[in-house]
Chains A and B, each alone.
Chain A
Amino acid sequence: MSLRILALPVIALVLVGTMLGVQLAYGGGTFEPLEPADPCVERPITSRSEGIDALTEQLVLIGLDEAACSLDTSREALTLDLARGGPPTDAEVEALQDGLLTAVDRMAADGTLPPASALVDDALDQADLNEFLETLIRAIPDSVIDSALHTDDVLTRAIEDIDLRELLANVDDQQALNEQIEPAVAQAVKDSLLDRLRSLV
């Protein structure tokens, strides 16, 4: 075959091949949105928050992972599903509650759960107590608080007591959330202390 016939097709092949080769070498074909990670594989949770906010964030993130894993979906898909405002299914509520309880166990097991004394100041700042009572509680030594209250116990009781369906419905209303969570945590603290006293008697 003559050069006249071959030259242009060869040039076209080289141009197209070079272009596609360079593009593939630089990631062409993989320029796609981030794939959701497998929620059943543990991932490190870091938080820029402090105190109760940090604890809540870590519990929610681990809890979401655990719930998504048991529902065989991604953490992101479950979050979007819950955030879109529709009523959650029984399976989602149950998985979320189990997930949060597992999160408490996991954090307790790996020692990342803060002692109760570390949360007292933050809790008192957020609570609407009279000044005298607040000062009295702040005066209690940390060692006394930590021996009387175990964080994992309080959290487990609060999670079991909270109506998660209502909590999810109130997720856009900070005041309604506080009104729901504070009594549940207070009750959990009370129950935990009573149990502790009973065990001492």
Chain B
Amino acid sequence: MRRAVAPLIAVAVALVLADSAIVTLALPDILFHLDTTVAQVAWVLLSFNLVLGLVAVPTAIGFRRARPRVLAAVGIAVFATSSAWCAVARSIEVLIAARCLQAVGGALALVGCLELLVVLYGERRGIATWISAGVVGTATGPVAGGLLTQAFSWEAIFAVQVPFAVLAVPAALAVRDGPPPAAGPAFARHRPAVRPNLTLALLSAALTAALFLLVLLLVDGWRHSPATAAVAVSVVPVGALAARPLARLLRPPAAVEVGAGCFLVAGGLGGLALLPSAELAWTVAPQALIGLGLGLTVDQLTVQAVHLRQPRVEHASWTISARHLGVVVGLAILTPIFTADLEDAQTPAEEAITALVLDAPLPAQTKVDLARALGELLVDQQGQVPDLHAAFEATPVDPADQAALAELEADLDDQLERAATHAFRDSFVVGAGLALLALLVVVVPPLRRRS
């Protein structure tokens, strides 16, 4: 059991941070099964990040004198219970309430686990393990969520977390208490590191664009299954893995490493804004650059914000707060942009479809029948990228014209993919802008204080 203690605590940290984006690929399923609206289902993602972002620092301050193993155990237990509650939620309101409780438990767990990992591994390695577990969780969350949704259901995302979290409770309680936190006038209390936290917040907002928008594009725009989308976005964590060996090889100064990382994230998002087709292969290079940028920035910035600052757990909580509020700000900025762009994309898509149907090498009656079926289908699917296949299935056609009809269907699908891809372009550009803003925060020299 003792050997498993530290890994189980690291897994608990990874689970909490994975929950930030784990539901992204399950949102369409949740929307359908809980019979809710797009605006409400977005709160399944938003509520967790907002609550975690808001309670992380107060938790660290309020429970400064609490015993870390008790804090961690209670936090993980609350997280496990609320995860189970999420899995059995049968209404969107209950699911959002459970997500809020999950975030509260998550905040307690993160604060407690940091102290436990420091007790187990020492200051430097303990913080590094806590940060790495968080990066792994953040990067793999959407992949795991997509695969579980496809293989089982959206409920499985929350159900599978319960046994891991339940095992982590005794693991946390098994760790002996470390020395009590310093107090009194000699106790140095550092100010929060503004620059790394601000950079983290901006990068998190940009990474939201990368993960949230990309999976929406893949699932809703290009009509891939959640599992295919999950495999596709797994390029990001793989890219992140390459960051450490590269940094070790080149040994750049910390600011250069973070600056290059921000630039890579901006470049990757720029690449997603300039996709030449709806082939999944075109998303690989931009995602790899985003992953590389993620690996170069997030842990380095977290180290900068936490290292040698007291109280350690408070500064670690500032990084959690910055990251998750960054996600919320990113969603708040990007959601209205891409929803408006998706609505605007409807007219050019319909006009392109009309042009192709009018000019199709098909008998006039077939065109009329198809136009009628398409019209009914488009009315039924207002606001979503439609699947046109049903309209083609419903259109009677002479066997001699079957090939032309199939070609027309492929052409219309291509137009829909073009419209959807184009609709996401501005959001990816804004995401790239946020990453460049993060770069600006890194490269602008600090203001000199007057002596």
Interface residues of A (CB under 8 A from B): 4-5, 7-9, 11-13, 15-16, 19-20, 22-24, 26-29, 31-34, 36-37, 46-49, 53-54, 56-57, 61, 64, 74-77, 79-80, 83, 172
Of B266, B275, B352, B367, the residue contacting A34 (CB under 8 A) is: B352
Q: Are B264 and A34 in contact (CB under 8 A)?
A: no
Q: Which of B267, B351, B352, B422 contacts A15 (CB 8 A)?
A: B267
Which one of B25-33, B248-256, B318-326, B333-341 is at the A interface? B248-256
Which chain B residues (335-389) contact chain A, with CB distance < 8 Å?
345, 347-352, 354-356, 358, 361-365, 367, 371-372, 375
Beta-carbon contact of A7 and B252 below 8 Å: yes
**CB-nearest residue of chain B to A16:** B267
Contact between A61 and B372, CB atoms less than 8 A apart: no
Q: Which of B267, B277, B422 contacts A33 (CB 8 A)?
A: B422
Checking A20, A57, A172 against B274 with a beta-carbon cut-off of 8 angstroms, the contacting residue is A20
Q: Give the CA-CA distance A106 to B78 in the complex, in Å.
A: 78
B418:A32 contact, CB within 8 angstroms: yes
Residues of chain B lying within 8 A (CB to CB) of residue A34: 351-352, 355-356, 415, 418
Say yes or no: A16-B270 contact (C-beta < 8 A), given A31-B276, A49-B365, A80-B351.
yes
Q: A16-B289, A27-B276, A53-B365 are in contact. Are A80 and B354 (CB under 8 A)?
A: yes
Q: Does B421 contact A (CB under 8 A)?
A: yes
Are A32 and B422 interface neighbours, CB within 8 A? yes
- A8 near B267 with CB under 8 A, answer no
Query: Which chain A residues lie closer than 8 Å to B264 at the CB level?
Result: 12, 15-16
9 A-B pairs, CB-CB below 8 angstroms?
Answer: A9-B259, A16-B264, A19-B286, A20-B271, A33-B348, A34-B415, A48-B401, A75-B358, A80-B350
Instruction: Write out the residue numbers on chain A whose beta carbons fall within 8 Å of the beta carbon of B271.
Output: 16, 19-20, 23, 28
Whether A31 touches B418, Cβ cut-off 8 Å, given contacts A4-B252, A36-B355, A76-B355, is yes
Indicate if the CB atoms of B364 and A56 lie closer than 8 Å: yes
Contact A49 B364 (CB under 8 A): yes
How would residues 158 to 170 of chain B score, 1 for a CB under 8 Å from any chain A CB and 0 otherwise? 0000000000000
State whether A9 and B256 are in contact (beta carbons under 8 Å apart), knowing that A79-B354, A83-B375 are contacts in the complex: yes
Q: Write out the residue numbers on chain B whose beta carbons fall within 8 Å of the beta carbon of A36.
A: 351-352, 355
Instruction: Give Cα A83–Cα B374 distance, bound, in whole angstroms.
Output: 11
Q: Which residue of A lies closest to B401 (CB)?
A: A48
Are A47 and B259 touching (Cβ within 8 A)? Answer: no
Main secondary structure on B side of the interface with A: helix
A28→B349 CA distance, assembly (Å): 18
Q: Is the CB of A5 within 8 A of B252?
A: yes
Distance, CA A53 to CA B421, complexed state (A): 38
Expressed in whole angstroms, the Cα–Cα distance for A7 and B252 within the complex equals 8
Name the interface residues of B235-251: CB closer than 8 Å to any CB of A: 246-247, 250-251
Contact A46 B361 (CB under 8 A): yes
Q: Contact: A77 with B274, CB < 8 Å?
A: no
Question: B173 on the interface (CB 8 Å rule)?
Answer: no
Closest to A46 in B: B361
Residue of B nearest to A24 (CB): B274
B: residues with CB less than 8 A from A are 246-247, 250-253, 256-257, 259-260, 263-264, 266-268, 270-271, 274-278, 282, 285-286, 289, 292, 296, 345, 347-352, 354-356, 358, 361-365, 367, 371-372, 375, 401, 404, 415, 418-419, 421-422
Given contact pairs A7-B250, A19-B285, enumerate 14 new A-B contacts (beta carbons under 8 Å).
A4-B253, A9-B260, A11-B250, A12-B267, A15-B289, A16-B271, A28-B271, A32-B418, A33-B351, A46-B361, A48-B362, A76-B351, A76-B358, A79-B354
Q: Is the CB of B263 within 8 A of A9?
A: yes
B260 touches A19 (CB 8 A): no
Residues of A close to B358: CB separation below 8 A = 61, 64, 75-76, 79
State A70–B358 Cα separation when bound (angstroms). 19
In-complex Cβ contact of B355 among A16, A24, A37, A57 (8 A): A37
Quote the shortest CB–CB distance from A83 to chain B (angstroms). Answer: 6
- Report A68 CB to chain B, min CB distance, Å: 11
Do residues A28 and B422 form an inter-chain contact, with CB atoms below 8 A? no
B150 nearest CB across to chain A (Å): 27
Expressed in whole angstroms, the Cα–Cα distance for A49 and B318 within the complex equals 70
Interchain CB contact under 8 A, B275 and A4: no
Q: State whether A31 and B277 are in contact (beta carbons under 8 Å apart), knowing that A4-B250, A53-B363, A172-B372 are contacts in the complex.
A: yes
Q: Shortest beta-carbon distance, A48 to chain B, in Å?
A: 5
Q: Which residues of A contact B257 (CB under 8 A)?
A: 8
Contact B351 A8 (CB under 8 A): no
The chain A residue sitting closest to B257, CB to CB, is A8
Of A15, A53, A76, which one neighbours B364 at CB under 8 angstroms? A53
Q: State how many angstroms separate the Cβ of A44 from the closest Cβ of chain B.
A: 10
Contact of A19 among B267, B278, B371, B401 (CB under 8 A): B267
Q: Report the bound CA distance from A27 to B279 in whole Å.
A: 13
Q: How far is the CA of A27 from the CA of B421 in the complex (A)?
A: 13
In angstroms, how far is the closest chain A Cβ from the Cβ of B355? 5
- In angstroms, Cα B356 to Cα A80, docked, is 13
Report A-chain residues with C-beta under 8 Å of the C-beta of B352.
33-34, 36, 76
Q: How far is the CA of A9 from the CA of B372 in the complex (A)?
A: 56
List the B side residues contacting A172 at CB < 8 Å.
Answer: 372
Q: When A and B form their complex, which 4 residue pairs have the shortest distance between CB atoms, in order from nearest?
A: A16-B267, A28-B274, A76-B351, A34-B352
A28 and B276 contacting across the interface, CB-CB below 8 Å: yes
